[in-house]
Amino acid sequence: MDILISGLLLGGTYVLIAMGLNLQYGVARIMNLANGEMIVLGALASFWVFTTASVSPIFTVVLIFPVALLGNWLVYRYLLIPLVRRAKNQGQLEVDSILATFGMSFILVGIVVSINGEYFTYSFLASPFEVLGSTVALNRLVAFVFAVVIALVLYLWLNRSRAGMAVRAVSVNSASARLVGINVEKVSALAFAIGGAVTAVAGVLISTFITLDASVGVMFTMKALIIVIMGGVGDIRGAIIAALILGLVETAVATLIDPGLTLAAAYLIFLLVLLFRPQGLFGKPQT
């Protein structure tokens, strides 16, 4: 039962990490390998305002969203659109965007190290809380609630609003979306920006209960990628379920075998997905 509860809570935060990447890859077709660094930046911002001005991370979430939105939009507009325009095919864009986002991720790590090379430790809502007989930390629960709310809002926005429909259209087929009068570049930039902003918010929330430092970004990137592929690229619902599965499996492995093996467990899941359902849990086979 303890495993179930803390596994689901961990899965909730993975939902946040993966949703941002899912939008970025599913719609804008950018395999953003600097995703983990966006988490680290969010965490650093939260740590920084908390320790210098004692601003609650809950408030930082509101603060960081527009900043990250603008930042990611600028990155897409000025660094990635040239690559999209230059690419002759999807394969070339993939290679270019992988290399470019690797570059960005290293630059961000370098910048974060020069700002703060230490761990971002602070204590926020670290009090125990009872859920269904299990004791969990309150901050994890708060993060989980946020994850649920953000996932719901995103889901409704994508499926009920006009802008969301345009985003889904680009995700399904960007060439046809252009034919029906959707400005693909604009929509992609929007999706990329929102994805980045959601990821930064995830970073703020994660920093309340996991101690981060400049170098952990790549591990989050790795897990987000596994979730996105497992759930099916561009599929929010699939990503949520995949994130919960990963959270449960990792918690089970960490408590029952050894905490050092969580990455190996994630790899095992990834391998199984690649072997048996490379199109994702709910994806349709590619033609």
Write down the least CB distance from residue 210 to other proteins, Å: 17
Cα-Cα-Cα-Cα dihedral of 235, 236, 242, 243, to 10°? Answer: 150
- DSSP 8-class letter at 131: E
Minimum distance of other proteins from residue 207's CB (angstroms):
21
Which region, judged by CB under 8 A, interacts with other proteins, from 122-130, 166-174, 197-205, 260-268? 260-268
| Interatomic CA distance for residues 147 and 129, integer angstroms | 18
Nearer to other proteins, 29 or 140 (CB): 29
Number of residues that bind other proteins (CB under 8 A): 44
Packing angle, helices 236-256 and 138-160, rounded to 10: 160
Q: Of the candidates 62, 99, 115, 145, which one interacts with other proteins according to CB under 8 A?
A: 99
Q: Is 108 in the site for other proteins (CB under 8 A)?
A: yes
* DSSP string across 145-191: HHHHHHHHHHHHHHHHSHHHHHHHHHHH-HHHHHHTT--HHHHHHHH
Angle, helices 217-231 vs 236-256, to 10°: value is: 120
Q: Which stretch binds other proteins (CB under 8 A): 7-15, 59-67, 134-142, 223-231?
A: 223-231
| Residue 120 φ then ψ, to 5° | -90, 85
From the list 111-119, 142-150, 201-209, 234-242, the region that binds other proteins by CB under 8 A is 111-119
Residue of the chain from 51, 66, 119, 267 that contacts other proteins (CB under 8 A): 267
What are the counts of helices (DSSP H) followed by strands (DSSP E) for the chain?
12, 2
Binding mask of the shown chain, residues 55 to 84, with x at each position contacting other proteins by CB under 8 A: ---------------------------xx-
Ramachandran category for residue 30: left, alpha or beta (phi over 0 → left; psi -120 to 50 → alpha)? beta
Q: Which stretch binds other proteins (CB under 8 A): 167-175, 182-190, 201-209, 259-267?
A: 259-267
Binding site for other proteins (CB under 8 A): 31, 33, 82-83, 91-92, 94-96, 98-100, 102-111, 113-114, 117, 218-219, 221-222, 225-226, 229, 258, 260-261, 263-264, 266-267, 270-271, 274-275, 278
